[in-house]
Structure 1
Amino acid sequence: MKTKTLVDPFAEDVTKGLTENPKSLPSKYFYDDRGSRIFMEIMAMPEYYPTGCEFEILLQQSPAIVNKLPFTVPFNIIEFGSGDGMKTKHLLKAFTEQGAPFTYIPIDISQEAIDALEANINQALPGIDMQPQTGDYFEALTGIDSEKPALFLFLGGNIGNYKDADAIALLERFHAQMKTGDMLLMGMDLQKNPRIIQKAYDDPHGVTRAFNMNLLTRINRELDADINLDQFDFYCDYNPQSGEVNSYLVSLKKQHVHSALLNTTFYFEKDELVWTELSKKYTLAGISALAQSAGFAVAHNFMDCRHYFTDSLWIK
């Protein structure tokens, strides 16, 4: 049988990731519709502090964030990876209460997440000027009025999922899309007691495990593979010196799995790791250095009461 020509990025990335050494799967593929639902469960767990910390910041400090913005004319609020909008609505409410003339443009790869966001935002702030976009961040930007000043949002600590070089590359792409004076509000998890971080990413409820295992379910479904999920497990490790949480799938036996769609067989050794995600934790000095490396300056760090997390406001 002739091997299928790979045109789908998911198929290409799975093929590359499961044939290289060490093996890996890109964390961006966590967020199909089911993965997005599981991540909402993660955010609701008491052990997963980032969500509560950022809720606190946006609930209590949104008026202060508004006051830090220099915009005097109608502007866009463009959110990358908006999810269901439950946190962002507090910020939007503060803007609305101050009569700020803005258009909210949430962008997410999951249509299900965008649907939930529209329902949540419309219920909380009926009549808001909102233009939701489903798809890739930068493709979605092409249809947006670029003449308006803009506040870009990248909340939830998502920047921590990128290796240093990749984080700088992404921030440089943000920078290239922004005009002088535009601002970026970015959620960033801070270094703290290692036990607190470990529990957040290796929860006793098995939700984070399910989030990772869903990658295998997605491969079975979309690439017509025969992965036996019982033959894999989940593991994560936090290194407090580097500030990195690394997550893995673990092959529990020597095995092979086959994708009919790809006409490809993947081989695993017993206890072999498949790296799935990085979750980086920052110091305030590290945040300033990262901002400068991408051409930004830190205007202010808004932190929760325990200083576990910051929404860091940067200016171009």
Structure 2
Amino acid sequence: MTHPDTDLDVYLHDADRIEALRADVRAGLSASPKWLPPKYFYDARGSELFEEITRLPEYYPTRAEREILTDHAATVARVTGAKTLVELGSGSSEKTRLLLDALRDHGTLGSFVPLDVSAAALHDAVGALRADYPDLHVRGVVADFVNHLEVLPDTGSRLVAFLGGTIGNFTPAERSPFLTTLRAQLSVGEWFLLGADLVKDPAVLVPAYDDAQGVTAEFNRNVLRVLNRELDADFDVDAFTHVALWDARREWIEMRLRAERSMTVHLRALDLTVPFAEGEELRTEVSAKFRRDGLTAELAAAGFTVRHWWTDAGSRFAVALATAS
């Protein structure tokens, strides 16, 4: 379905989003321990807070990935010769402009397909991109990259970009089917560009998720405001404390919300009552960190061959360029 006033193909509607929210929240808050998926951070306020996080001194991933793309976008363009760039979870598509510029300068790029769950964000991004790249065909796709990979346009000679370290929000059990499904949508020889945060000293990792200014804490608690608004819940947002922990065994950061007192929360839209004990924690995000051998093996198991592996000068973050084999 095409959006009436832009080149947006809409596969995820508000009703679908609410249905998924209801199902996820019911499952997560009924579990032990309790959890919520991180995608519900990103309402308008959550997206603003995340943009603020990316500019914090402690939050290195955005700067490190930008450094890599600045240094190697021209190589990506030369190696792939892609005619179509597809970006999963594009948001504002800001970093992607480094790839767009390189592919345009290389002379192969004809179209850009940003995919995101937010029609509003895509509407704004597509408008800005059309103004800045008048010769480029830009077609936004409103979809969930977990459930709608089959809707990616098959234009041939594609480069699919999945940046920002978002792959870390999947557990290993979730990454495997995601990567396998993505590979199934690509022809042999098409390309996948993946940004991944690397395992490093927890003294660097943890502050990136627990900054001194408290922006990440506000971002974390914002998910409760989303539930209050969308599901007629009565979370006392200020009664929850932000927690960021490094799990050395799983090699991931966990963000949690800790109840500072015992309470009972009602989600009237779900007819659900949820007790919290004092000190009980609700997991809101997993952010896995990677090692080169492990991620290369995961990609290989899904049918991708890594051709290039680049890191920033501090070896904090990596961008892998892989081909569908």
Unaligned stretches of 5+ in structure 1? 1-6
Matches within 5 A, 1:252-263: 252-263=260-271
Contact 1:33 1:111 in 2 (8 A): no
- CA distance change for structure 1 residues 126 and 60 in 2, over 3 Å: closer, same or farther? farther
Pair 1:237 & 2:248 matched: no
- Greater Cα offset, 122-131 or 16-25: 122-131
* Pick aligned residue for 1:114 from 116, 122, 126: 122
Contact 2:164 2:196 in 1 (8 A): yes
- What are the superposed Cα offsets for residues 89-144 of structure 1, whole Å, 9 maximum, x if unpaired? 01100111111133100001122322342354345434322111222236665555
Cα distance in structure 2, aligned partners of 1:95 and 1:147: 16
Q: Match of 1:216?
A: 224
> Residues 191 and 240 of structure 1 are in contact (CA less than 8 Å); yes or no, is this contact kept in structure 2?
no
Question: What SS does the aligned partner of 1:24 have?
Answer: coil
**CA separation of 1:106/1:147 partners in 2, compared to 1, >3 Å: closer, same or farther?**
closer
1:44 to 55, 58, 70: 55
The partner residue of 2:179 within 167, 171, 176 is 171
Asked whether the equivalents of residues 81 and 108 of structure 2 are also in contact (C-alpha less than 8 Å), the reply is no
User: What code does the residue aligned with 2:279 have?
Assistant: D
Q: 1:144 to 1:244 in 2, by over 3 A?
A: closer
Would you say how many aligned residue pairs link Structure 1 and Structure 2? 307
Identity score, percent = 35
Matched, 1:35 2:43: no
| Aligned equivalents of 2:213, 2:166: Cα separation in 1 | 22
Local SS of the residue matching 1:17: helix
Report if the CA contact (8 A) 2:130-2:138 is conserved.
Answer: no
Structure 2 CA distance, aligned partners of 1:144 and 1:189? 25
User: Conserved in 1, the CA contact under 8 Å of 2:146 and 2:178?
Assistant: no
Q: Are the equivalent residues in 2 in contact too, given 1:85–1:120 (CA < 8 A)? A: no
Q: Using the TM superposition, give the Cα deviation of residue 145 of structure 1 relative to its aligned residue in structure 2, in angstroms.
A: 3.6
Aligned to 2:31: 20
**Partners of 1:161 and 1:25 in 2: how far apart?**
12
Q: Secondary structure at the match of 1:8?
A: helix
Deviation readout 1:5-57 (Å, 9 max, x if unpaired): xx811011111111111100011211222222211111111211010011111
Q: Secondary structure at the match of 1:188?
A: strand
**Contact 1:107/1:140 (CA < 8 Å) preserved in 2?**
no
Q: Shift of residue 172 of structure 1?
A: 0.8
RMSD (CA atoms)? 1.8
Matched, 1:58 2:66: no
The TM-score normalised by the length of structure 1 is: 0.92
SS at 1:258's partner residue? strand
- In the TM superposition, what whole-angstrom CA distance separates every residue of 1:248-305 from its partner, at most 9, and x where no partner exists? 0111111101122122211111110101111111111112111112121111112212
Q: Which runs of 5+ in 2 are unaligned?
A: 1-17
Matches within 5 A, 1:64-83: 64-69=75-80, 71=82, 75-83=83-91
Q: Superposed, which structure 2 residues align to 1:142-291 within 5 Å? A: 144-291=152-299
What displacement does 1:165 show? 1.2
